Structures are given as structure tokens and as C-alpha cells.
């Protein structure tokens, strides 16, 4: 399955193939090593590693090995981790948000130092939504990954879509923190729906998932791509112009549907 997915993603024209880091899914580094064997062009990355699962020194060892085996194609994505149940299952307790971010900061600095010592060039992505994580990304990362969702602890599920205005504010926060330093901006797309009836498709999703939001709200959410291939491509061009986002990530269930949009974005 993984081999077929990697080959198909390369065939569709994806520039990067990314692996998540959740206990219910395959181990990221072995998965990337296998994918490197059956692909030649795309970069290979983690989206994103839960830094709390990793000792920074051992993480550096594994990342540099995969980068070497893939002939320099690794892109190391890092985040603070957010799923309490996974921390508990792994026997790590449940560190506070501040403790998780502090460990992420330490991990990024140690990976940077180790890379310089061994002479490896490996882009680092840092993903998140909070001030400390985005400040770290602005100051240290090659790629800043903006979340399409935000945490809302007092609701079920404890997540909500980030609005265009909220993303605007986060983008400006990073720009100010970066102080003119160059970086690439990424956005995680939560859903791709190909249709010639945008509003009807959105209303169906609201009914299907029992969402307490309006169609107008979802039609303006940056992490939702809805419409014909041409409309989706235009939505992404508009987001590039407004937010400076030139790198988008789609989830595995949408990778086939999104494929025809890729050549449109190269025009």
C-alpha cells in the first residue's frame, strides 16, 4: 500500500511526500526510507514529528540517516504534540503546553547544531498555531507550517477551523517575528471537495458531520478547498497572494482528487 501511494503521488506530480507521527499509524522514518526506495523526484518529510516522543540526539541520528539514504531529500517537520492520549499511551505522562513547546525549542536547536557538525543540509519545518511555536518557526525554520485548525478545549471535538482573518493575523505575527528572514509558508488543507456546486457540497458536509456552522463560514475557510479544479486552483492562488502561502499539504484521502490541480498551479 505504501509503495503504491508513493509511486502514485510522484506520478501525480506532488513535490513532497509527507508522513505523520501518530501511534495509530506507521512509524515515520521506516515509511520514508521505503518511499525513498520507490521514488526519485519528490522531497520526503515528516508532517510533523511529535517532538515529545523523541530524544533530540537520537532523533538527529535517525533523521540524518534517512537524509543520507534518500540522497538529501529529507524535510524534517517538527511540532510540539497535542494528543494527550498518545502521550499517556507512550508512558510520557501529559506535559503542560509550556513544557511541550520548551522541548520542541530544545529539539530544533539541537538538530541545527548537530546538522552543522556533520555537514548535512536538511530543511526544517516547524508547525503550529500558538505564539511560542510560531515565533520559533519564524526565527529558526526553513518552512513555517500554519495549522488549518485551532484548539478549543471547551468544545467537542476540541478543534475549530481557523478563519481567513485569523490566518492573516498569524501570518503577520510570523512576518514580524522573522524580522526579514526568508522562509516558506505552508498550510495544511483539511478537506478537498471537487464539485461544480460549491454551496451545495458545503451544505452536505455540514449535514453529514452535524456541524454547527454556516455554509458562508466554511466557504471562506482557508483550509477547505471546494469547487471545480479551476476554482480550487484559483482559491490557492488567492491564498498565495493574500497570505504568502506557496506550499500546501493535503491529507491522504484527498491526494487523488487534488492531483489534477497540481499542473494548474505550475502555469
pLDDT in tens, 115-151: 999 999 999 999 999 999 999 999 999 999 999 998 8
* Residues with Cβ within 8 Å of residue 1, at least 6 apart in sequence: none
pLDDT of residue 7: 98
Assign a CATH topology to domain 2-189+243-259.
TIM Barrel (3.20.20)
> Which long-range CB contacts under 8 A does 13-17 form with residues at least 24 apart?
13/259, 13/262, 13/263, 13/266, 14/42, 14/255, 14/259, 14/262, 15/42, 15/43, 16/42, 16/43, 16/44, 16/45, 16/75, 16/247, 16/249, 17/42, 17/43, 17/44, 17/45
pLDDT of residue 159: 80
DSSP code of residue 254? G
pLDDT of residue 151: 80
**pLDDT surpasses 90 at 157:** no
| 38-58 residue pLDDT tens | 999 999 999 999 999 999 999
**pLDDT surpasses 70 at 162:** yes
pLDDT of residue 152: 79
pLDDT of residue 223: 96
* Cα–Cα separations (whole angstroms), residue 131 to 63, 101, 189, 237: 26, 10, 21, 26
**pTM (predicted TM-score):** 0.95
Domain ranges of the chain: 2-189+243-259
**pLDDT surpasses 70 at 87:** yes
Confidence band for 183, pLDDT divided at 50, 70 and 90: very high
**pLDDT surpasses 70 at 258:** yes
pLDDT of residue 66: 98
pLDDT of residue 68: 97
Question: C-alpha cell of 245?
Answer: 502561502
| 55-72 residue pLDDT tens | 999 999 999 999 999 999
pLDDT of residue 156: 66
pLDDT of residue 77: 98
Question: C-alpha cell of 210?
Answer: 452535524
Confidence band for 34, pLDDT divided at 50, 70 and 90: very high
pLDDT, the chain, mean: 95
Amino acid at each position: 500500500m505504501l509503495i503504491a501511494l508513493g509511486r502514485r503521488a510522484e506520478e501525480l506530480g506532488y513535490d513532497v511526500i509527507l508522513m505523520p507521527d501518530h501511534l495509530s499509524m506507521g512509524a515515520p522514518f521506516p515509511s520514508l526510507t521505503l518511499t525513498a526506495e520507490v521514488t526519485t523526484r519528490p522531497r520526503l518529510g515528516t508532517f510533523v514529528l511529535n517532538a515529545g516522543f523523541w530524544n533530540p540526539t537520537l532523533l538527529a541520528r535517525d533523521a540524518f540517516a534517512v537524509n543520507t539514504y534518500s540522497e538529501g531529500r529529507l524535510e524534517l517537520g517538527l511540532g510540539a504534540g497535542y494528543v494527550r492520549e498518545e502521550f499517556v499511551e507512550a508512558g510520557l505522562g501529559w506535559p503542560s503546553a509550556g513544557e511541550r513547546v520548551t522541548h520542541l525549542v530544545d529539539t530544533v536547536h539541537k538538530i541545527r547544531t548537530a546538522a552543522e557538525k556533520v555537514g548535512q543540509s536538511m530543511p526544517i519545518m516547524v508547525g503550529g498555531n500558538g505564539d511560542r511555536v510560531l515565533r520559533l518557526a519564524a526565527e529558526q525554520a526553513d518552512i513555517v507550517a500554519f495549522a488549518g485548525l485551532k484548539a478549543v478545549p471547551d468544545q467537542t471535538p476540541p478543534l475549530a477551523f481557523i478563519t481567513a482573518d485569523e490566518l492573516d493575523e498569524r501570518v503577520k505575527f510570523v512576518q514580524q517575528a522573522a524580522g526579514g528572514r526568508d522562509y516558506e509558508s505552508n498550510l495544511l488543507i483539511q478537506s478537498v471537495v471537487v464539485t461544480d456546486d460549491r454551496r451545495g457540497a458545503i451544505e452536505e458536509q455540514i449535514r453529514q458531520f452535524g456541524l454547527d456552522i454556516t455554509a458562508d463560514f466554511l466557504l471562506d475557510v482557508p483550509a477547505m478547498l471546494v469547487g471545480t479544479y479551476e476554482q480550487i486552483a484559483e482559491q490557492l492562488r488567492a491564498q498565495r497572494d493574500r497570505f504568502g502561502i506557496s506550499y500546501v499539504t493535503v491529507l491522504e484521502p484527498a491526494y487523488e482528487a487534488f492531483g489534477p490541480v497540481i499542473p494548474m498551479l505550475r502555469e
